[in-house]
Structure 1
Amino acid sequence: MSKSGEFCPRCGDDVPKRPEPLPGEPRDRDAALCDACYFEDFDLVDAPERIEVLVCSRCGAVHRGNRWVDVGAKDYTDVAVDEVAEALGVHLKAEQVQWGVEPEQVDQNTIRMHCTFSGLVRGTHVEETVTVPVKVSRGTCKRCGRISGGAYAGEVQVRAAEREPTKDECDRAMEIAHEMVEEREADGDRDAFVTEAKEVKDGADIQLSTNKLGRMLSKRLVEEFGGSFEEYATLVTEDSDGNEVYRVTFAVRLPRYRQGEIIDPEDGDGPVVVTSVRGNLKGTRLASGERYEARFDEGDAPDALRLGERDDAVETTVVAVEDEHAVQVLDPETFETKSIPRPDFFDTDAQQVRVLKSRSGLHMVPDAESKRE
């Protein structure tokens, strides 16, 4: 590098000629120093003497500023690395900076972070090592405090019309609640949580942190299971600003019948396997294979006899095909040859079929993947 004809104001040595700053760019006051004097006072890294981290002992969230932040760390060492990375500052003149960290666990609450930095400054390779102690203290974040205190704003009560929800329905309802909260948490919503979810005598009760979550869950349950819901608000208190605070109960009513259930509307056309309970009930006639749909004057579902479920059907042997209306099969209980209706979903090449024997007789039952459904 050519000489500039200028001298270092500190030691008097010649100063190499440096590029002029761009128009509008401020002049570096240290540009007049030679490299030796410049690096005497140069610090590649600006590091605090100590870092204190407050971590929620229940969920692992870290307190930053005036709020709690989910950092997704596996342990406190990961938290310490993240906090050190946030706190350290690298000189603006450094280029091609690289750094590494080696944590040292001093005790249960203290981690000593040995950090090594390197980079190019004025074309010279510079390396610096700093050690930063990280003190980890434990507390309880606002969210976990509310959960442990049993706080909730909305309660979803899962019930069913003229029956009790099955264990599978209750388990699925609680599973959907937790999935929905996980979705909200992934989007950074720390106010979303399930306070309690439990199976009760006549269904399931799910307590949620906000009324919005309660309404969302109720809609999802109706989308998946059918049925309907209503909400009832109760004034519980006033906040610090004098605003009324309500707790809302969402009463979810599942349909009278479930998908896969076999019923007899007693209209003369034989049993129906239920294929949909969204809106008015829909199904497939076991005798003919024709599509069935509840009439408007029957409401969402007709009055019908419960005969069983699709899973209650058992396999039996096809003896002979009589004609386009009847098939001979073995009775699964007596092993006698019985003539039963031949529905559209019957496969003429089949040697085995599934049948259900009930008070309405012996009927062939379609597989769940039947195209008719």
Structure 2
Amino acid sequence: MSRSGAFCPRCGEEISEPPTDRPELPGAQRDSERVLCDACYFEEFDLVDAPEEIQVRVCAQCGAVHRGNRWVDVGAEDYTDIAVEQVSEALGIHVDAQSVAWQVAPEQVDKNNIRMHAEFSGVVRGTPVTEEVVVPVSISRQTCERCGKIAGGSFASIVQVRAEGRDPTDEEVSRARTIAEEYVAAREATGSRDAFITETKELDEGLNMKISTNKLGQGVAKRITEQLGGSYSDSKRLVTEDEDGQKLYRMSYAVRLPRYQRGEVIDPEDGDGPVLVRSIQGNLKGTRLATGEQYEASFEESEAPDATRLGFREDGERTTLVAVEDENAVQVLDPETFESKTVARPDYLDTDADEVPVIKSRAGLHVLPANDEREDEA
């Protein structure tokens, strides 16, 4: 063994040459541990520097974990993996150790306490060393800021869903609610913990939602009108001022669904007969029941032309096609009186059919499309 001519300052034994795996730079301060002999060095050597205890803060409501200075959604019910991760980050390995390997075995003491049994091995000064440590981990269940805000009823915007000249249907209310929940959930999935719906109320006249931010409220209103038609308007109300004197506003978004619905039969005031509504996106579009021609409301009328409501496609009944009189008329059986009636022949009518769907209203008896794909256009 190569001798250095130096002696251990603790026991006086001559020591070998310092390890060559950590070359010292000129002028660098010499590590006091490096001048000790192996016997004295290993007397006080610790392979692992472990904390006495680790506390994992989790939200009792949503399961988020507090890391650093923020709450992070982890989607975990069992926090053992989280405990292993935090113990791993807290442990320190001696700088002189090489070829370090380790394994950890968690011991679940109870719901809120875990013991982490960690075993380490490595090589120091050419000598294999092992060490075992036990780190207690306590699960501290608290309430994160997001859940605190929800519980406290915090919100920045209100979205109200109504319909023009009528009450929204149960289906429309359900669809609007689903659209809002899916949109907010998508924002939350991107990591935004400010994305949530504080309160949802279904009313006879529509739907009210309290939403966490103004931007989310506007996004919800926009997507509801994109999918269900109609329009929305906004208004703001001063709520308070922050510490810097900035004014904070609460926004209200009023969604107005169209006066008419897809599948509704209306009679516009133009004298050309009833229309089956097939689209409420932008200007109202539909099909004339007398001719089968396409109808579109004027720009000024938008999605709400003046018209008489006659019913819905679902109100139609199948009846017998008695005869084809000519290119403009056919005979069908009246589904109520079973009398043969002459009605207009729209171009979508299948003259080879035995039965056709009809709707009877104050405007008379009209043949409905049997399976008109144009009605499903957005």
Normalised by the length of structure 1, the TM-score is 0.82
Q: How far did 1:365 drift? A: 2.2
CA RMSD of aligned residues (A): 3.7
1:126-275 → structure 2 map (5 Å cutoff) = 129-275=132-278
Which residue pairs with 1:293 in the alignment?
Answer: 296
3-state SS in 2 of match to 1:264: strand
C-alpha separation in 2, matches of 1:320 and 1:38: 110
Larger mean Cα displacement after TM superposition, 347-356 or 116-125? 116-125
DSSP 3-state at the match of 2:61: coil
Q: For the residues of structure 2 that align with 1:80 and 1:343, how far apart are their CA atoms?
A: 72
Aligned residue identity for 1:362: L
Find the partner of 1:278 among 281, 287, 293: 281
**How far apart are 1:343 and its partner, in Å?**
2.2
My pick for the range that moved more, 351-360 or 328-337, is: 328-337
Corresponding position: 1:309 with 2:309: no
- After TM superposition, the structure 1 stretch with the greater mean CA deviation from structure 2, 146-155 or 57-66, is 57-66
Q: Percent identity?
A: 59
Q: Would the alpha carbon gap of residues 129 and 179 (structure 1) be closer, same or farther in structure 2, given more than 3 Å must change?
A: farther
SS at match of 1:344: coil
Per the TM alignment, residue 302 of structure 1 is displaced from its structure 2 partner at its CA by 1.3
1:61 maps to what in 2?
A: 64
Q: Deviations over 1:95-118 (max 9, x none)?
A: 69574x443221232122334567
Structure 1 counterpart SS, 2:86 = helix
Structure 2 segments unaligned to the other structure (5+ residues): none
Comparing 178-187 with 101-110, which one deviates more in the overlay? 101-110
Cα shift readout 1:28-65 (whole Å, capped 9, x = no counterpart): 98999999999887766543221101211111112222
Give, in whole Å, the separation in 1 of the partners of 2:57 and 2:128: 37
Offset at residue 194 of structure 1 (A): 0.5
Structure 1 stretch displaced more, 357-366 or 214-223: 357-366
Give the structure with higher Rg (CA).
2
Cα gap change, 1:18 to 1:206, in 2 (>3 Å): same
The 10-residue stretch of structure 1 (339-348 or 138-147) with the greater mean CA deviation from structure 2: 339-348
Q: How does 1:105-144 map to 2 (within 5 A)?
A: 105-116=108-119, 129-144=132-147
Whole-angstrom CA distance in 2 between matches of 1:338 and 1:78 = 76
Write out per-residue CA displacement over residues 285-342 of structure 1, whole angstroms, 9 at most, x where no aligned residue: 1222211001234343211111112222233343444443334433333344433333
| Aligned pairs (5 A) from 1:77-88 | 77-88=80-91
2-side partners of 1:357 and 1:125: how far apart? 94
Partners of 1:9 and 1:312 in 2: CA distance? 105
Contact 1:237 1:246 in 2 (8 A): yes
Q: TM-score, normalised by structure 2?
A: 0.81
SS at match of 2:373: coil
Q: What letter matches 1:180 in structure 2?
A: Y
8 A Cα contact 2:121 2:131, kept in partner: yes
Aligned residues: 368
- Tell me, yes or no, if the aligned pair for 2:331 and 2:342 is still in contact at 8 Å: yes
SS of alignment partner, residue 204 of structure 1:
strand
Helix, strand or coil for the counterpart of 1:224? Answer: helix
Distance change (3 Å), C-alpha of 1:19 and 1:248 = closer
Q: Which runs of 5+ in 1 are unaligned?
A: none
One-letter code aligned to 1:170:
V
The answer to whether the Cα contact below 8 Å between 2:18 and 2:35 also exists between their aligned partners in 1 is no
Give, in whole Å, the separation in 1 of the partners of 2:124 and 2:328.
92
Give the whole-Å Cα distance in 2 for the aligned partners of 1:95 and 1:292. Answer: 80
Q: Call closer, same or farther: CA 1:38–1:276 in 2, change over 3 Å.
A: farther
Tell me which of 93, 100, 106 is aligned to 1:103: 106
TM superposition shift of 1:9: 8.2
The alpha carbon displacement at 1:153 in A equals 0.9
- Structure 1 residues 181, 371: closer, same or farther in 2, change over 3 A? closer
Distance in 2 of aligned mates of 1:297 and 1:319: 42
